[in-house]
Structure 1
Amino acid sequence: MNPSPQTISIGAVGLAIIGFVGLLGVGLVQQASVADRSTAARLQPAAPAFTLPTFDGEVLTLAQYRGRPVVVNFWASWCPPCRAEAPVLERIWETYREAGVLVVGVDIQDVEADARAFLQEHTITYPNVRDAEGTTTAAYRVSGLPAIFLIAGDGTMARRKMGPITEPELVAWVDELLAGDTPSAASPS
């Protein structure tokens, strides 16, 4: 038994509507994701604590740097924007470490040998840790790479951004924090 042309037309219209609604939903999700990634969100909650192993066999805890601003960068060796961002983070570390600013890299979803090669290739000297279990990544709600967080000396989250950050943008964040004009101290915008 062959379906009638009317049945085929109704089915085609139904499929077209389902497809349109699906595309609309995907578009809205992507638009929200792009907005979140392109705009640095101002936050004030406490930064999630973490204790993770470094690539040198030591253990680094966020709490040991209480009182100092900390730039936390989530990265992976297979992430092209992370590769582009690595020299920026190294320059921030070299420029601001005398002012007490710490940069910490958090390697995620990576093969350890590849991560070590990445650090060597980019001549990274700031501390880097491995989040092999993904618990710190989940606590920070990292939804894409790279992801960067600026933590104030009091342990509150001053800024965050999912996606690549430019050097001028990161310099402005750090300068703002060092000047005491932090989002947690500033009036809401």
Structure 2
Amino acid sequence: MTDMAPALKQPMPRRMNPVVMAIIMIIPLFVVLGLGLALIEANRAQITNGPAPDFQLKTYDGEDFILSQQLGKIVVINFWASWCGPCRSEAADLNALWDEYRGRGVVMIGVGYLDNEDKALDFIKEFGVQYLTGHDAGSLITRTYGVSKVPETYVIDQLGNIAYYVPGTITADQLRPVLDRLIAQ
């Protein structure tokens, strides 16, 4: 006769509460997302002094603007967008400054930020923008300078260094003394 041991009853595995399971799955997702955003912000460090990073921009007039070819001149770089309210409010001052300083060794370049070309051209026409401006295709220039919102304005001195930086709207009254000081040097 064979001795048969009674079959051991295996306990049924407990099902995990769906809410607990969702939390366990979501927490790592938020950790990874948070680390990714922190890394993006770290790479978007604002450049506010030192040598100005070189860039090339195809203007709406079809010219190639290359910052490093402007050595010996003062360069005003304005990051803007047609959908930006503050950009609209500073447009008249920037035009006035361009008219006032363009024959005095000052170059102005507008860098379009996350904009539709047709709307950007409408903005240029509406505000009578006369200085060079172009679209930052692929946002390479804005990323290089750490621009995360517009407007932002940089003034580059004759040696290619950042001499002045304004996050937000700029006025002629703010910019005029900076340009005069650099011209006098």
Larger Rg: 2
Where does residue 89 of structure 1 map in the other structure? 94
Where does residue 34 of structure 1 map in the other structure? none
Identity of aligned residues (%): 40
**Mapped pair 1:118 → 2:123:** yes
The structure 1 segments of at least 4 consecutive aligned residues displaced by more than 3 Å after TM superposition are 41-44
Unaligned segments of structure 1, at least 5 residues: 1-40, 181-189
**Mapped pair 1:169 → 2:174:** yes
- How high is the TM-score relative to the length of structure 1? 0.71
- The aligned runs of 1:68-107 (5 Å cut-off) are 68-107=73-112
Q: What is the CA distance between 1:143 and its match in structure 2? A: 2.6
* Partner SS state of residue 99, structure 1: coil
- The aligned runs of 1:1-189 (5 Å cut-off) are 43-180=48-185
CA distance in 2, matches of 1:43, 1:55: 27
Amino acid across the alignment from 2:88: R
| Contact 1:42-1:159 within 8 A present in 2 as well | no
* Partner SS state of residue 165, structure 1: coil
| Contact 1:151-1:157 within 8 A present in 2 as well | yes
* Partner SS state of residue 134, structure 1: helix
| Contact 1:143-1:162 within 8 A present in 2 as well | no
Change (3 A) 1:179 1:141: same
Question: Cα deviation per residue 1:23-82 (whole Å; 9 max; x = unaligned)?
Answer: xxxxxxxxxxxxxxxxxx995411010011110222111122111000000000000100
- How high is the TM-score relative to the length of structure 2? 0.72
Unaligned segments of structure 2, at least 5 residues: 1-45
CA distance in 2, matches of 1:96, 1:42: 25
CA distance in 2, matches of 1:49, 1:127: 17
Amino acid across the alignment from 1:162: P
Change (3 A) 1:78 1:95: same
